[in-house]
Structure 1
Amino acid sequence: MSDVAAIVLAAGRGTRFGDEPKLLARLGGKALVRHVAEAAVGSSVDPVIVVTGHRSEEVEAALHGLPVQILHNALFAQGLSTSLKAGFSALPPRARAAIILLGDMPFVKADLIDALVVGWRERGEPAALIPTLNGRRGNPVVLSRDLQAAIEGLSGDIGAGPLLRGRSDVLEWPITDPAVAQDIDTREDFAKHRM
């Protein structure tokens, strides 16, 4: 068992993508969200909690057969913060941290997840460990359980970013893997990666 869990945020509408549910768009024969969940399942983290919301039944169907814990966020329309809070509330007692995975980042692989978790441990388990690529912050981010109370205070369509700014116990971790900056927001993004 791991003392770090994964929270896959897969509840949003993805409105910039158009009418088709973004997380269900198929890349390499699989839904985007399944790529992310498979990476988490293949890593050392446990459990893998997938927070669903918009089109939840279809998202759950895309994850069929994977050993993940599905958590439906009935408040998903109120924004990203509600999914982050729901995921943290579902962490098992042994979890000292969670790595937050975005359902639209299909190029994040298990070895990157494991490297970030190892980095978090080796650097003394800071409040957060944030990967950076060429000086820009990316995802996934490892968040310490110590942030849970602050996360509970979030509202609206924001993640943990505002909580992490200016804190001395938040560490940036330079990395060369471009996956930390490759999310799919629009059909143009998707088309680029399908080639």
Structure 2
Amino acid sequence: MASLRIAGILLAAGRGSRFSPDGGCNKLLQPLATGASVLAASARHMLAALPEVVAVVRSGDEATAAELSALGCMVTECPDAHQGMACSLVHGLRQAGYADGWVLALGDMPHVQPATIAALARALEEGADIAAPVHDGKRGNPVAFSRLHLPALLALQGDEGARGIVRNSAVQEVPVDDPGIFRDIDTPADLR
């Protein structure tokens, strides 16, 4: 059996209003303790695990687009990103519609390890329709979806993302030794 073509979709089009209420500071470009930006760490971990990563950015966000492009992501601008996460997700899926499945990740989760992303892709290759990482008995992000769920994913609206699909579907839980599946960057204190 030929292996499936699994693509990563990295969502990097949010406004980060909890991090910078006035919108003056792009949290994704802020440095972590390692010196890498939040976004660069997230993208590098995806690129280490998957051969293709589509990164979705807001229209006109040239700094974010340039950083992702330099790292090797296929960058696409979402003109309707302000309408919520679902718009960005649908936009990314349309760009990566050629794939057999997708690992959907958030640009503000730089601590997710490449091994976790690879394990989710492997779960799809072994027949899972949805795969989610589990650490200490609790589910986290990112989440992987097979092509079976493409129509439902493309129908998403608003700011909930794919949470409803996960809640109402059978999910293969993938045990990982990775507390990074719970850590996102919401405030400046999270950068430490």
Give the unaligned 5+ runs of structure 2: none
In structure 1, the residue matched to 2:47 is: 41
**Corresponding residue to 1:135 among 134, 137, 141:** 137
SS in 2 for 1:30: coil
Off by >6 Å, runs of 4+ in structure 1: none
Cα deviation digits, residues 140-183 of structure 1 (max 9, x gap): 11111221111122111111010121323x22223221111111
In structure 2, the residue matched to 1:188 is: 189
In structure 1, the residue matched to 2:111 is: 107
> How many residue pairs end up in the alignment?
186
Work out the CA distance in 2 between the residues paired with 1:155 and 1:108. 26
Identity of aligned residues (%): 35
1:2 and 1:46 in contact (8 A); partners too: no
**Corresponding residue to 2:125 among 103, 116, 121:** 121
For 1:99, give the aligned amino acid: V
1:80 and 1:157 in contact (8 A); partners too: yes
2:12 and 2:57 in contact (8 A); partners too: yes
CA RMSD of the aligned region, Å?
A: 1.8
Q: TM-score, normalised by structure 2?
A: 0.89
Q: TM-score, normalised by structure 1?
A: 0.88
User: 1:38: how far off?
Assistant: 1.1
Give the unaligned 5+ runs of structure 1: none
2:116 and 2:133 in contact (8 A); partners too: no
CA 1:130 to 1:3, structure 2 compared with 1: closer, same or farther past 3 Å?
same
Work out the CA distance in 1 between the residues paired with 2:113 and 2:173. 19
2:131 and 2:172 in contact (8 A); partners too: yes
Cα deviation digits, residues 27-55 of structure 1 (max 9, x gap): 12222111111112222x23210000166
